[in-house]
């Protein structure tokens, strides 16, 4: 269902004859180095067949698929996709996206910055969006301030799909539902439902993937990006996220947090193309619902 080893970035449909590497450079705006790397690494498919030849001749109606493979370059960073403007990574659970007053260095931002500076000492990185510390999954960073501004200023219109998998307590009997709430954060940073005049609208759609006597695994799409939105929604229906002691889960001895951002579909404002990023369901989520 969701598990993928390959992330499909985009399909492109050819409307004229072309040499493959020239198409990658001229139409898709890859540098010569980036295009060669894509071909060498087997990231280019033509009509669903891997092509590595630089001079491969494209025909009208051919379909090029650009893919990216999860590549764990080291224990600290799991890169999903990278180009000259953005880097997309799979954040582990229990890691801050960016620093706080209490923690400056143990952050995803610091790890990504260190990785980029190894390749280029002048490299910069900019936050575009973030996930809660406890939540794992897809996070995009910009490599320059112009790209950061393009994404941040237009985030809600650029994001076409935000998909999560959630491991929740108990048997969710309703197979799918849409939860609409108005959320407000109090002075203790606790988000709670309120009325439409005081809160911001949050729309959470879930579908049950599988369940057993203890847990349910849900596929969730959020239509809005409110703070702690999914966590509050699951608490409100009596099925809190596993490990989420802030919002209703009372087993203090688990080291699992059952929320993972697995799929993101976004319009790239630089290349003017739709990009789809996807990761695997965490193995623990699958194991606990078998």
| Max Cα-Cα span within the chain | 62
- For residue 127, give the 3-state DSSP assignment: strand
Tokens representing 36?
A: 């060669």
- For residue 126, give the 3-state DSSP assignment: strand
- For residue 54, give the 3-state DSSP assignment: coil
Tokens representing 88?
A: 């997309």
d(C-alpha 266, C-alpha 24), whole Å? 20
- DSSP string for residues in 14-42: --S-EEHHHHHHHTS---HHHHHHHHHTT
Say which residue the tokens 């931002």 belong to.
109
- DSSP string for residues in 151-173: HHHTHHHHEEEEEEEEEEES---
For 6, 87, 258, the CA distances from 70, given in Å and listed in that order, are 7, 12, 21
Catalytic residue selected from 83, 132, 219, 244: 132
Q: Is 132 a catalytic residue?
A: yes
d(C-alpha 284, C-alpha 108), whole Å? 22
Closest of 108, 164, 168 to residue 281, by C-alpha? 164
Q: Is the separation of the CB atoms in 240 and 246 below 8 Å? A: no
Tokens representing 89?
A: 């990574």
* Phi-psi category of residue 189: left, alpha or beta, with phi > 0 → left and psi -120 to 50 → alpha: left
Query: Looking at the annotation, which residues are catalytic?
Result: 132
């Amino acid at each position: 269902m969701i598990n993928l080893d390959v992330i499909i970035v985009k399909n492109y449909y050819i409307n004229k004859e072309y040499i493959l590497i020239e198409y990658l450079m001229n139409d898709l705006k890859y540098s010569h180095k980036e295009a060669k790397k894509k071909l060498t690494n087997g990231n280019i498919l033509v009509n669903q067949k891997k092509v590595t030849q630089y001079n491969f001749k494209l025909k009208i109606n051919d379909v090029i698929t650009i893919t990216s493979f999860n590549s764990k370059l080291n224990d600290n960073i799991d890169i999903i996709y990278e180009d000259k403007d953005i880097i997309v990574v799979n954040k582990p659970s229990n890691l801050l996206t960016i620093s706080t007053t209490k923690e400056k260095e143990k952050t995803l931002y610091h790890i990504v910055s260190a990785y980029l500076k190894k390749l280029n000492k002048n490299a910069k990185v900019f936050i575009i969006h973030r996930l809660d510390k406890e939540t794992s999954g897809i996070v995009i960073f910009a490599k320059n301030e112009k790209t950061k501004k393009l994404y941040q200023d237009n985030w809600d219109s650029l994001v076409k799909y935000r998909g999560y998998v959630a491991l929740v307590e108990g048997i969710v009997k309703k197979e799918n539902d849409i939860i609409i709430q108005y959320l407000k954060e109090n002075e203790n940073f606790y988000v709670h439902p309120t009325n439409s005049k005081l809160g911001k609208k949050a729309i959470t759609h879930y579908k049950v993937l599988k369940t057993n006597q203890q847990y349910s695994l849900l596929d969730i799409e959020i239509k809005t990006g409110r703070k702690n939105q999914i966590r509050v929604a699951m608490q409100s229906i009596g099925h809190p996220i596993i490990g989420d002691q802030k919002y209703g889960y009372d087993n203090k001895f688990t080291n699992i947090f059952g929320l993972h951002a697995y799929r993101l579909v976004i319009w790239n404002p630089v290349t003017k193309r739709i990009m789809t990023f996807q990761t695997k369901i965490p193995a623990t989520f699958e194991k606990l619902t078998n």
